[in-house]
Structure 1
Amino acid sequence: MKSIVIVISGRGSNMESLLKATAAGELPVRISAVLSNRPDAVGLRTAAAYGVPTQVVDHTEYASREAFDAAMAETIDGLGPDFVVLAGFMRILSDAFVQHFQGRLINIHPSLLPSFTGLHTHRRALQEGARIHGCTVHFVTPSLDHGPIIVQAAVPVLDGDDEVSLAARVLAQEHCVYPLAIRWLAEGRVRLVEGRVFLDTPQDGAAVLVSPPAQVAP
């Protein structure tokens, strides 16, 4: 069974989707620990309620990003995970950290990459008049939000949507596709070849999911 370490900064709703799937026997992984850079992160209490060990590496105690990342890497290495899963980790990682975990570092981003990298993705999708929006699970590379894509979920942008309603619709899909992607990784069905992802025999759904169905005006 593969092991993962989940890294958070806040409430960790995507982390909780992974905890729930694991507890239900739907995710064939062992969650070795949940780490946070913030000692007050609500997700730490959630993880503890599931019986998962938690650790804090407080970024405010380090003089530089590189020093913090080195401490994080040392802590994670001590846990020996097969994959490191970012779930709302709100810090840009140094190239050295990313390269240290190359091919094992996974993130979920609230847009259909490569569109809308960075922050405020839902607001920008609405401002640009996008009709389809969604989320992306991808391998992390030194180029921010540009790593090889594992799976995406798309949702329609509906008339009358605001940033809150669109974000909620996307988040519901994040909670579906993140466990799915981690299960594929745990089962050895994801191959990373020359910067592209290949998925072996995806029998439980296509690599792009669209939900809910778009509404067509009469």
Structure 2
Amino acid sequence: MPATKFDEPTRERILRIASDLFYRQGITATGVDEITRQTGVAKTTMYRAFGSKDGLVAAYLERRGADWRAHLEEQVSAAADDPAGRLLAVFDVLAAWMAGDDFRGCPFINAAGELCDPEHPGVVATREHRAALTAYLEDLAREAGATDPAALVRRLLLLYDAAMVDGQLDGDPLRAARDAKAAAEVLVAAAMPGAGAGRERAHRRPPVD
């Protein structure tokens, strides 16, 4: 059914409230009855707007991903002039978000852990977000002159994910983000041209007279 001028604000209200519930409580723990009660709309209205709860979950993750990537790119661009510095600034932006009182871990990792079906619309949205984030970081790594941008980004994403998981489980998100950035600095430096030769020279023994 085509959206009307009334339908679009209603859809946005459902999405906003459901997104908050999904992130704070979990996707499976949040039922349609609770969503409709808190939004004040009938189930038929919700289904007309999103098709199903699965469709609403996918919309939540798509919006979350788009908003985060836009925020990340804006903050990273403002934080550093050089591409290598921007790669590391990703962890500063991550730390600032993780320091918030509403941090409940990565919404995409959380969703992937809850949704077992690889073809679930929410899992598809999660994979699409990951692909877009990876492409952005690979562009930065390529601009920074990394010898193997894809390999560097895979390793940086391991740190990126680990920071969020550790911050959620350990209860000290800032420490997790700082440690991840410190490790990222080593990876970025090692990924630059000539880094291997530099290490070899540093470890080469002086000649014996």
Structure 1 or 2: more helix by fraction: 2
Alignment TM-score, normalising by the size of structure 1: 0.30
Alignment TM-score, normalising by the size of structure 2: 0.30
CA radius of gyration, larger in: 2
Structure 1 or 2: more strand by fraction: 1
